[in-house]
Structure 1
Amino acid sequence: MENKKNIMDYETVALDEENHALVIIDQTKLPGKTEIISLTTQKDIWDAIYLLKVRGAPAIGDAAAIGIYLAAKNLQTDNYQEFYTEFKKAKEYLDSARPTAVNLSWALNRMEKVVIDNKAKTIAEIKELLRQEAIAIKEEDIWICQKIGEYGLSLVKPGDGLLTHCNAGQLATAKYGTATAPMYLGHQKGYNFKVFCDETRPLLQGARLTAYELSESGLDVTLICDNMSSNVMKNGWVNAVFVGCDRVAANGDTANKIGTSIVAIVAKRYNVPFYVCAPTSTIDYETPTGKEIKIEQRPDKEVVEMWYKERMAPEGIKVYNPAFDVTDNDLISGIITEYGIARPPYTESLQKIVALKNKKQQ
């Protein structure tokens, strides 16, 4: 009998070169159905990012890199200026899918740099360099998550209770996840963590995705409603909080899934360390503070209709549905990156992290 594939056996994001496609897990169908979809048009890729079929800052960056490579691959011209003009249009189109996660524009800008830096080469050579860069972005994502996991694991001990919000797991990256990386690496070492997952209203990424992938991997995981985090922390069941991040402002304010700031405030009240797991690609020095981070507004129906057989609010009621909130830097115990852990004051420590990254990449 053929063994049933585990969700962790699938690649979150992949390039199918033969069929000219971006291949992803449709995360809107999880956990009830594992559907692998192949996206061949820019409209399909844009929709997949906007509709959260692929989501999580690193995975969005991986998908965008592959997506813009496929757009470039399909351009039928040998003229550099024509090629670059059409490439730029495709880049701006994909970049418009979601505004808050900095990895989307970061990955697309990195791909554009390949085109600009190699304009003396043939179009065929540029296309090959774009393919290599897209693959490199994904491979770096795996390395980054593993390093974040190693640094995060140094902050906890066997048997600890951990809490996370939303999904910053393997389904949000190429492998390991960011916030879940310490959990997976600890599980491999027999740490026997007890993990609490906030359900994460209104899209339930914690319930549908994090609880699913952690349980499929054999971790001890307990699902809680968002409004239960105070209860489990007050009971002393949580020793540390790990969350992901979509953008880090220069002062250390961080944007993550809506409800993250509530967890941070509660953790501060009960003296539970609150750690943000953030690849250096999410650090945005063009954004001085969290106040300047553009917060995506989502459709009303996600709150009042999406998970119900019948509408669960009065017709015509006003709905406020921001996708993210900003956690102030004074609530954050540390920002865990692939080059180390930044501590307050973040205006200084983040610069040191980035300087270390630049030095090692020289």
Structure 2
Amino acid sequence: MKRQDEGMPFLLNFENVAWYEDGQVRILDRRIFPMEKKFVYCTDYREIIKAIQDMVTQSAGPYTAVGMGMALAAYQCQDLNKEEQIEFLTNASKELGNARPTTANRYFAITERTLAKQLDALEKGDSAIDAAFEDALDSLNRRYATMQKVGDYLVDQIPDNSSILTQCYGETIIGAIIRAARANNKTFKIYNAETRPFMQGARLTSSCFQEAGFDTTVVTDNMINFILENGDVDFYTSAADTIAMDGHIANKIGTKQIAILANRVGVPYFVTGIPDQDKKNRDAIKIEYRDPKQVLEFAGIKTTLDGVKAIYPSFDITSPELIGAIVTDRGVFSPYSLGDYEKLGGESFY
């Protein structure tokens, strides 16, 4: 199998996303990258759930983590009888699939498929550990290859020497843009919104583009209107944690306000990703609220006085009238015509 992470930045190398080996899963701690390159080691699949909830990994990283978590669960229960293993793995699939609510449908697509392969392996007397690990690796490869199609379509829409504004950390699409730009000999100037409170744009997205040699500039979240009105940005793009079939998308909190500002000055907004065909409309999108304490501190340092309150909705919902196009693995669609995408039929992505 040819690995699809060739030419990807450090953050996107398979072993640096989430990797099962010898009874443990290691996950690069994105909360402290790039200041430190450290891994969190999990020896119980429930520790992976906590790592996902604690933002050790985020964006598409949990897709890999839950798959590798199923391999770890199989390791944990390997000495039980078959019926007990089945029960243990079934519970692991449910718990891993529920690690975060907004993207639970995507997690479940992975864990339930992996579980079916593990149960088949147990019936045949094969290793449920190997079945899960091989499925997780296949899933990684498939997602990278699929998102490369998305990246190719996106880069086709953007002229050489354009300036691109990003929001948060879009995981695989970032590497896909980099590879597509190289393949087409295009040069882009990149502006990364810092993306509070975890600064994924500043720490993760900018690291990938800088590592790849792009002219990369970080701006604070409250500078966005200035650079848009100043004419510094030609295109705004983000991934999406959910793309409902009515054209509403959910992405990192702050995505919508940038879309509003971009729309106001005529900067097109291109969303990238795979539409969630099981989410028919905005009502199917569930917004996760995180511990507000995470807004009141950064890197473990309190930034407010005791008694100050906060809120932390993880995502916001952007409506289709603010979206210029949704760029998918099947081409570029209006947010109002995702039914055309659906007619093309579904493929396994996660």
Fold match (TM-score > 0.5):
yes
CA distance in 1, matches of 2:79, 2:33: 40
Amino acid at match of 1:303: V
The equivalent residue for 2:292 is 300
Which of 230, 237, 244 is matched with 1:235 structurally? 230
The equivalent of 2:95 in structure 1 is 93
> For the Cα contact (< 8 Å) 1:183–1:193, is it kept in 2?
no
Query: How many residue pairs were aligned?
Result: 339
Distance 1:198 1:154 in 2: 23
Task: Say if 2:30 is the partner of 1:13.
Answer: no
| 2:64 match | 62
Aligned-partner Cα distance in 2 for 1:270–1:127: 53
Contact 2:12 2:175 in 1 (8 A): no
1:112-123 residue pairs with structure 2 within 5 A?
A: 112-115=115-118, 118=120, 121-123=123-125
Unaligned runs of 5+ in 2: 1-8
- Identical-pair percentage: 28
- Indicate the residue corresponding to 1:76 in structure 2: 78
Equivalent positions of 1:1-362 (< 5 A) are 7-8=10-11, 10=13, 11-17=15-21, 19-56=22-59, 58-76=60-78, 80-101=82-103, 102-115=105-118, 118=120, 121-168=123-170, 172=171, 177-179=172-174, 181-187=176-182, 189-280=184-275, 283-285=276-278, 287-307=279-299, 309=301, 311-353=302-344, 355=345, 357-358=346-347
Runs of 4 or more off by more than 4 Å in structure 1? 77-80
Local SS of the residue matching 2:250: strand
8 Å Cα contact 1:149/1:182 also seen in 2 = yes
Paired amino acid for 1:97: A
> Counterpart amino acid of 2:219?
I
1:28 partner letter: R
Which position in structure 2 is the counterpart of 1:3? none
| Secondary structure at the counterpart of residue 195 of structure 1 | strand
Contact 1:278 1:337 in 2 (8 A): yes
Kindly provide the amino acid, as one letter, of the partner of residue 24 in structure 2: A
Distance 1:312 1:120 in 2: 52
Partner SS, residue 231 of structure 2: coil
Output the CA distance in 2 between the equivalents of 1:324 and 1:219: 28
CA distance in 2, matches of 1:216, 1:120: 43
Write the distance in 1 (CA, Å) between the matches of 2:20 and 2:175.
Answer: 27
What is the TM-score of this pair, normalised by structure 2? Answer: 0.88
RMSD (Å) for aligned C-alpha atoms: 2.5
Taking structure 1 as the reference length, the TM-score comes to: 0.85
